Amino acid sequence: MLQSDAAFHKAYLNAFLVVADGKPVVLASRLLGKPLPETVPGSDLLPALFTEICAKKISTKVFLFGAGPGVALKARDNIQTRWGSTLQVVGATSPAFGFEHDAPASAAYAREIAQSGADILVIGVGAPKQELWALAHREQLNVKLVLCVGATIDFLAGEKQRAPQWMQRTGLEWFYRMCQEPKRMVRRYGKDAVVFPFIVLRDALQRTEKR
């Protein structure tokens, strides 16, 4: 998507931190001579961040924005049960389908988030929607940190299950997710399997030419 969507690319360029959310990206980085240390899925990053916040006893307010109807509320309850000592979920909203194309609705959601007093906004509405929306409304959100984490809210709510550890370690988590959501994921991963090798090959040839 970054190859063809200029707005999405801009959102990535404006991000404070971009992490590798898949084994193929890490493997490609090693092949191209710029190795990344490891994958950092949002579903690992967010629990690790919450655990660190609690360990350091940093009073933090979180707003969950994403997933299907009612799912954010379930995630909120699970978060409060697990990390509730210093972590407070001050909002949990599952936005209406197509909200990103509805300017008044988007403005209302941004106001809700800003007025909640949240320090961290967790967005899980899928790429590129989450990144584009966060960039477009960053001045109105009044938060210290925005995390775009895809299906992580679903995982925290218990609505979706992550792959077994052995599949995560061996880079097969994509296959597990494809089996969970075949209608959506087969098309996505099929396209990735065709496009991504060409991107890696192009970058490898560019590096060779520069030498």
Tens of pLDDT, residue by residue, the chain (211 residues): 888 899 999 999 999 999 998 888 999 999 999 999 999 999 999 999 999 999 999 999 999 999 999 999 999 999 999 998 899 999 999 999 999 999 999 999 999 999 999 999 999 999 999 999 999 999 999 999 999 999 999 999 999 888 888 888 887 888 888 888 888 888 888 888 889 999 999 989 988 877 7
Q: Rounded CA gap, 158 and 96, in Å?
A: 21
Contacts of 189 (CB under 8 A, 6+ apart): 174, 178
Q: What phi and psi, each to the nearest 5 degrees, are found at residue 146?
A: -115, 130
Please name the amino acid found at residue 199.
I
pTM: 0.91
pLDDT of residue 153: 97
Report d(CA 33, CA 207) in Å as an integer. Answer: 9
For residue 24 the two structure tokens come to 């193929």
**Both tokens assigned to 48:** 């690790």
- Centre a 10 Å sphere on the Cβ of residue 58 and count the other Cβ atoms it contains: 11
* Residue 87 β-bridge partners: 60
In angstroms, the CA 24 to CA 140 distance is 35
In what side-by-side order are the strands of the sheet with 87-93?
A: 87-93, 60-66, 120-124, 145-148
